[in-house]
Structure 1
Amino acid sequence: MSDDAVTPDAPQGDFWYNVETGEVEVGAQSDWTKLLGPYASREEAQKAMDKVHRNNDAWDDEEEA
């Protein structure tokens, strides 16, 4: 099974991105202050920081306008 596959014992939407370690967690294993999520899949959680950066860029553009 690839890392992008849904883990069989993970409930849908139970993938979290840990901003401190850069790892995806199945279930919220770390303190909530270090987590982004929940996400529906491991792949979506792995892309969490990309989404954060896109949102920040869009907000910066709005402020400049």
Structure 2
Amino acid sequence: MSDTSPVQYWYNTKTGEVEESRDRSSWSHRMGPYPTREAAHGALDSAQHRNEEWEREDTDWRGRD
């Protein structure tokens, strides 16, 4: 029986490399999964953008009466 699961990609924060689902490193160094190699490669940028957006939302929320 063959595995027909789609390949997922992970970003390794220790090495800066993109890994496929079958050769993942320790969970403590991974971000993902991502559907494409390109999305995994941009993991840190995506996380930074998301965190900045959440911070803006929190600031707006705190400013409300």
Tell me the TM-score normalized by structure 2.
0.72
Tell whether 2:32 aligns with 1:51.
no
Q: Any unmatched runs of 5+ in structure 2? A: 61-65
Match for 2:29 among 34, 46, 59? 34
Q: Distance in 2 between matches of 1:33 and 1:49?
A: 15
Question: Which residue number corresponds to residue 13 of structure 2?
Answer: 19
TM-score when normalising by structure 1:
0.72
Aligned match of 2:63:
none
The higher radius of gyration belongs to: 2
Contact persistence 1:13–1:38 (CA under 8 A) = no
Moved over 3 A (4+): none
Q: Percent of aligned positions with the same letter in both sequences?
A: 38
Of structures 1 and 2, the one with the larger relative CO (CA 8 A, separation 6+) is 1
Aligned length: 55
Give the superposed CA RMSD: 1.5
